Structure 1
Amino acid sequence: MVQCWRIASSPLLILALCGCDVILDVDEDRSPRCSTDEQDRYRCNGNVSQRCGDDLEWRDEATCTDATPVCSASSGRCESITQVAAGGAHTCAVLSDGTVWCWGLNASGQVGTPPSQSAQVRTPAPLQGISDVLRIQLGGSDEIGHSCALLESGQVSCWGANDAHQLGTGEESTDDRSTPVVVPGIEGASALSLGSHHACAVVAGGRVTCWGANQFGQAGQDPLVHQTVATPTLVDGLDDVEELAAGAIHTCARTKQGAVKCWGSNESGQCGVLPINPGGPILPPREVPGLDGAKRIAAGSHHTCATSGPSGEEVVLCWGAESCGQLGAGITCNEGCPVLWDECSQAEPTQATAGERSFAVSELALGAYHTCTISYASNSVRCWGRNNRFQVKQSDTNPVFDVTQTNQLGALQVSAGGYHTCILTSDGAMVCWGSNEFGQLGSGLADQRHGPARVSWTSAVPAEDSPAP
């Protein structure tokens, strides 16, 4: 839409000939006014939403807050956060207008800006070239990373590291991308999960398609034939899948019936089958025994967890590596943290209690070597596992913790990254704690503050916003 402005004394015809769609009035001092047909129009003036009033003057509608952090260029209104996502060393949020904002490590372009411009982004930055996002998933490590978004159209767009074809474009080049590219061949996607160097999606019929690194079979193909999978390829033996969880080198799927099937590396028992470390990948996907009616699943680097039980009574069951206490089983290990395999590794789902009574959860998230949940009863966050960067708890530097309840009450969502954790609070704000080496807490600070800290949106300006007239 082309907008033009006129001084009240200026001939309307002259401006109309310039191809204006909407002609707005300005006073003699060129302060903007509204035309009579624009009374219901909203616009952004910095981070303030303005509305044309009955007096044909622009009036402040709302100043955007932590709960509604950004004034949208498309709607002119303050948008709320609908999803939080923590990756290896970067973080993203989806807003209610379907836009994506990211920050943290940007060495591979995973935040959405060229690394040559900024290898670290310490406050939320709008992602260019993408809209209508439903969900976002982040992968990678504390060195590189990639990001993918599930769109309203059922397509998937990815950006960031591409060293193992984890962007799924099928191109011979493995160059990183800082702008989203649509993954070819995916239609009707309903779920998405990213590992360290691979990605998987649920497509029509509940089938699963994966791409990226496959040296351990984590993309569902024979690694003797395909070390990497350049384009989305269906995984045999899976249908009716509802949810995915991708770890560093393994992947799991939950069916609508509540069964969990895993494939890839089982060197730590993370696929939930015996024997541990069988000397080769688990292929085709095999069902994890001992799980009845799984409600949700999540994967860390080398461990996996699921919830099971009636709504309001779901308990956490975990399997895989336990050297950092990430299973919450309360087992004492002597080999150090992290260790991929030791006598503490568990292939059988074990309830996470750490010697306490069981607790019901409403959310589940796994980081590299730690696990977090949201308590069903109190909406407080409970985390356990590796705490070397305070990603579990801020009051102690002990590297391993059993189940510990944080002081973050009223959490609606939780997401665990490599060495940081983020939540969406009941008042709509986003709070993060843990490592801030690359600015992944979003506080805008360049120090090693471990949080918890509210994400700073004070300088957030939508990508397509233009200055107010």
Structure 2
Amino acid sequence: ATPVAVSGLTDAVFVVASHQHTCARRATGDVVCWGTHDHGELGDGSDSVSVPFPVPVTGLTNVQTLRAGSGGRQCVVRTGGEVRCWGDAPLGDGSASASATPVVVSGAAGATSLGGYAPATCARVGTELRCWGRDLLAGAAPSNTPIATVSSTAAPAHGPSARHHCWVTAGGLRCLGNNDAGELGDGTTTDAPAGVAAAFTLPSITSLAVATSPAFLRGRTCAVYDGGRVACWGSNLGSVFGDGTTSDSSTPVDATGLTGVTELATADLHTCSRSGGQVHCWGLNFYGEVGDGTTTQRSAPVATSITNAVSVATHSSVSCAALATGGLRCWGRGAGGRLGTGTYTDLTSPGVVDGVSNAVEVSVADSVCARLATNEVVCWGLRSGLGNADYTTSPRVPVTAALP
């Protein structure tokens, strides 16, 4: 597919593509969404099955932070720290019902940031990380209101996944939830519920990335630490650790040969990193998502041809990077036109996304969207997430979304 512009959306400051729908925060502080509407995830109060153009989320103003998970729940932090969510339940308001308009999350006033990946969401409130949703804690029922998971330690970064959750603290790193593959990193495979989160030390962590393979429900956690090294733990299915092996580990192991990493993007069964402008990838590589010109599984990082990236993103079997020149490159599985090259062909090396020369960031899901230097948004791939008022086709090149 080739990118199409999200027509009329000229003031986007943040865009996130989720599972067949997309949302954008505008410079005015409001939010617009488009795509599928199975659980009310567009937030406009309607019962439409799908909306092919951006619609305003009802009653949202002064939004500071927008967070969209892989499922049907979206959440925001507004000026002053109020958290609101809409879409698939639980939404954190005490109810077990979905909502097609935003509801206020109970017990999360004063929030400064959001994290989460459906079916769970977390907000940082003061020195606590408060989480709600499904599969939040090992063996626990869904939580309809936030549960405090940290009580006295700062949590400057966190990265919940579908079945386990980790966050950075002043003294190191703590994780809780399911631990089937050792994804909590404490040297065991024992699950950790709230109040007994696993704790260990990894020096100078600057970012966390977590992932769970939907097919196998086995999770992993990766961290950038100690000036740009990468360590991973948990499931090594597909050689996603980058340590040269396929062995799981319940303690952190370093990816081979990586230094100076500033960005890490984890997908189900592959990983990419950015060191300055150089993009490295590793993992399963069934469709060429590693980008080294082959479909050979890579158990250690390999350098792609991209040396001037400013951002990198991954999802499923697709990888994309925005370049310092404003161009975009994508590679991996071409089904649905998600590579933006005008074909549905898989690419084992980075391919040029058609018609984009001023991109500043890219977000990858079932459809792919990029924010341009003009604050316009272009999308391509599966039709429901494009926002160009057309849900009958899946364009292979970028299109502009249509703002009513």
| 2:97 corresponds to 1:160 | no
| 2:346 corresponds to 1:405 | no
Which of these residues, 173, 182, 193, is aligned with residue 105 of structure 2?
182
Percent identity, aligned pairs only? 26
Structure 1 length-normalised TM: 0.63
CA distances 1:224-274 after superposition (whole Å, capped 9, x unpaired): 536xx7899786546754434343443433348323343443212223346
Q: For residue 350 of structure 1, report the CA deviation from its aligned partner.
A: 1.8
| 2:220 corresponds to 1:250 | yes
**Cα distance in 2 for residues equivalent to 1:119 and 1:235:** 44
Give the alignment of 1:34-433 within 5 angstroms. Answer: 66=8, 68=10, 80-113=11-44, 117-140=47-70, 144-153=71-80, 157-162=84-89, 169=92, 175-178=97-100, 179-182=102-105, 184=107, 189=112, 194-195=116-117, 197-198=119-120, 204-206=154-156, 208=158, 210=160, 212-214=162-164, 215=178, 220=184, 224-225=190-191, 236-237=200-201, 240-248=204-212, 249-255=219-225, 257-273=227-243, 275-278=245-248, 282-309=249-276, 314-332=277-295, 344-353=296-305, 358-376=306-324, 378-407=325-354, 408-418=356-366, 420-433=367-380
Distance 1:159 1:349, change over 3 A: farther
Distance 1:445 1:235, change over 3 A: farther
**Cα distance in 1 for residues equivalent to 2:109 and 2:375:** 32
CA distances 1:120-163 after superposition (whole Å, capped 9, x unpaired): 222112223544333433322xxx4333335555676544334x
**Cα distance in 2 for residues equivalent to 1:236 and 1:170:** 33
Aligned to 1:330, the other structure's residue is in SS state: coil
Q: For residue 181 of structure 1, report the CA deviation from its aligned partner.
A: 4.5
Which consecutive unaligned segments of at least 5 residues does structure 1 have? 1-64, 69-79, 333-343, 460-469
Tell me the amino acid that sits aligned with residue 400 of structure 2: R
| Residue aligning to 1:449 | 394
Distance 1:170 1:443, change over 3 A: closer
**Cα distance in 2 for residues equivalent to 1:270 and 1:416:** 19
Structure 2 length-normalised TM: 0.72
Task: Report if the CA contact (8 A) 1:199-1:246 is conserved.
Answer: no
Aligned to 2:342, the other structure's residue is in SS state: coil
Compare 239-248 and 292-301 and name the one that shifted more. 239-248
| Residue aligning to 1:45 | none
Task: Report if the CA contact (8 A) 2:44-2:56 is conserved.
Answer: no
Q: Aligned residue pairs: how many?
A: 345
CA distances 1:401-442 after superposition (whole Å, capped 9, x unpaired): 421012211112211112x21111222211101110xx2101
**Cα distance in 1 for residues equivalent to 2:327 and 2:211:** 25
Task: Report if the CA contact (8 A) 1:274-1:347 is conserved.
Answer: yes
**Cα distance in 1 for residues equivalent to 2:96 and 2:77:** 22
CA distances 1:448-467 after superposition (whole Å, capped 9, x unpaired): 2314210100x2xxxxxxxx
**Cα distance in 2 for residues equivalent to 1:201 and 1:239:** 24
Distance 1:87 1:124, change over 3 A: same
**Cα distance in 2 for residues equivalent to 1:100 and 1:232:** 37
Q: For residue 283 of structure 1, report the CA deviation from its aligned partner.
A: 3.8
Distance 1:217 1:277, change over 3 A: closer
CA distances 1:196-233 after superposition (whole Å, capped 9, x unpaired): 5455677735353647524556984877536xx78997
Aligned to 1:389, the other structure's residue is in SS state: helix
Tell me the amino acid that sits aligned with residue 318 of structure 1: C
Between structure 1 and structure 2, the one with the greater Rg is 1
Q: For residue 347 of structure 1, report the CA deviation from its aligned partner.
A: 3.2
Distance 1:283 1:453, change over 3 A: same
**Cα distance in 2 for residues equivalent to 1:287 and 1:403:** 26
Distance 1:360 1:209, change over 3 A: closer
**Higher RCO (CA 8 Å, separation ≥ 6 residues):** 2
Distance 1:359 1:201, change over 3 A: farther
Distance 1:429 1:120, change over 3 A: same
**Cα distance in 1 for residues equivalent to 2:236 and 2:80:** 35
Task: Report if the CA contact (8 A) 1:194-1:200 is conserved.
Answer: yes
Q: For residue 275 of structure 1, report the CA deviation from its aligned partner.
A: 3.6
**Cα distance in 2 for residues equivalent to 1:324 and 1:186:** 44
CA distances 1:345-398 after superposition (whole Å, capped 9, x unpaired): 333222123xxxx4211121212211111122x211011111111110342222
**Cα distance in 2 for residues equivalent to 1:290 and 1:83:** 33
Which consecutive unaligned segments of at least 5 residues does structure 2 have? 1-6, 130-153, 165-177, 213-218
Task: Report if the CA contact (8 A) 2:229-2:258 is conserved.
Answer: yes
Task: Report if the CA contact (8 A) 1:270-1:304 is conserved.
Answer: yes
Give the root-mean-square deviation of aligned CA atoms: 3.6
